[in-house]
Amino acid sequence: MTSRERIIEAINHREPDMLPIDFGGMRSTGINARAYKNLKDFLGIKEGNVKLYDVFQQLAEPEMEVLNLLGGDVVQLHRLAPAFGIKIDRWKRARLYDEFDALVPEDYTPVPNENGDLEIIDNGKVIARMPKGGFYFDQVDHPYEHVETYQDIDDIPIPEITDEELAYLEKEAKRLYEQTDKAILAAFGGNIFEAGQINWGYEKFFVDLAINKDLVHYWLNKLTDAYLRDLDKYLKAVGKYINVIQFGDDLGTQQAPQISADMYREMIKPYHKRQYEFVRNNYPHIKVFLHSCGAIYDLIPDLIDAGVEILNPVQISAKGMNPARLKKEFGKDLVFWGGGADMQGLVNYGSIDQIKQHTRELIEIFSPGGGYVFNQVHNIQSNITPDKVMAIYETALSFRKNGQ
């Protein structure tokens, strides 16, 4: 099988010829730029570049040589501006963390403030900030933080996908389809709950979900209408090339969902369902992928009902996210994409042998019967050493050597 065929089998709940693997195929299965540079050095790969495509999380784009060495079956179709409106179709060379040279987006020009933090400024306003010594940006601008009326909401336009981006997407999707044999994961977005937190600010959005529901519904209806308008154009441009479309909404904390199941059903689920059903009704060959961190066990039946077909990152360290129970209860309805190594816990403090055993046990739980794509839980962070990365992926590759 080709990589693309392998993923198609897995996401249709059939056992492929060997374990499907994702290394860096989306913005929550990726690798921090520093960790990627260290991995390349460890592997003795001197050619190529560290390419910083996600400035928000500081993620590197895996090069094909690295992707193939680690068994990666998936490539990502990026949005033109994945973070902070910064386009990734033009590049320049820059110094990262005062440690190494990398390619960064041409318009990525963070500036230090008086505290030594890095700031991204748009039209004179600070929209994101990386603390001094940090490796990630925090969004600090919340354009809806003062809305109180429907008119306040109407006064803030929701951007529409541009012809420039559609042309970029179609060209990139065609290139990935014709020049690789990898499955193509299209990163659409479509955030509902997270969009509220980011645009309204966390405190205001949580309060208004409880006491100003009509205002929240008014905005979420407008937002979803805009998403569906864009989704229609997006899929007309790339639908014939892609295999998976990725949506995102972090619904959990470490201990529980961020909101109750009842509030999810009332305030968020209708807007998820409109998007996911649009894809499933009009492009049945494309699988609906939801990235949702945290302890979301109680929400999974509703996510399935809303139309989710693939769940990531499968945060096994969160309360209630027991791998065996997840596979037993939801394995017929959901593809699990992730869950292969606990990046919060054991990978940080465990030995190489412990990491290998841990990864092996998780694959043995999730992979039988298909419906599984291997990846660690969320991104490989900057502090993870390359020997640990290789322990994870060599274990996954060992299942291929053993015909599993």
Whether the per-residue pLDDT at 155 is higher than 90: the answer is: yes
Give, rounded to a whole angstrom, the gap between the first and last alpha carbons of the chain.
14
Confidence (pLDDT) at 404 = 53
Joined tokens for residue 396: 């996954």
Question: Per-residue pLDDT tens for 83-92?
Answer: 999 999 999 9
The mean pLDDT of 214-222, rounded to a whole number, is: 99
In DSSP notation, 189-213 reads: E--SHHHHHHHH-HHHHHHHHHH-H
Confidence (pLDDT) at 347 = 97
Confidence (pLDDT) at 135 = 85
How many CB atoms within 10 Å of residue 39? 26
Q: Residue 293 in contact with residue 313, Cβ under 8 Å?
A: yes
Q: Residue 246 in contact with residue 289, Cβ under 8 Å?
A: yes
Joined tokens for residue 91: 């590049």
Joined tokens for residue 101: 């040279």
Angle at 109 between CA 108 and CA 111, to 5 degrees: 140
The mean pLDDT of 381-385, rounded to a whole number, is: 96
Confidence (pLDDT) at 384 = 98
Q: Which of 152, 200, 273 is nearest to 209 (CA)?
A: 200
Torsion sign, CA atoms 84, 88, 94, 100: positive
pLDDT band at 33 (very low <50, low <70, confident <90, very high): very high
pTM of the shown model: 0.97
pLDDT band at 337 (very low <50, low <70, confident <90, very high): very high
Question: Per-residue pLDDT tens for 219-232?
Answer: 999 999 999 999 99
Whether the per-residue pLDDT at 403 is higher than 70: the answer is: no
Confidence (pLDDT) at 350 = 97
Whether the per-residue pLDDT at 17 is higher than 90: the answer is: yes
How do the domains of the chain map onto residue ranges?
Answer: 3-30+69-79+142-401
Joined tokens for residue 374: 């291997």
Fold entry, domain 3-30+69-79+142-401: TIM Barrel (3.20.20)
Joined tokens for residue 295: 């302890």
Confidence (pLDDT) at 401 = 78
In whole angstroms, give the CA distance from residue 330 to residue 338.
Answer: 15
Question: Per-residue pLDDT tens for 272-291?
Answer: 999 999 999 999 999 999 99
Confidence (pLDDT) at 242 = 99
Whether the per-residue pLDDT at 129 is higher than 90: the answer is: yes
Measured in degrees and rounded to the nearest 5, phi and psi for residue 101 equal: -85, 145
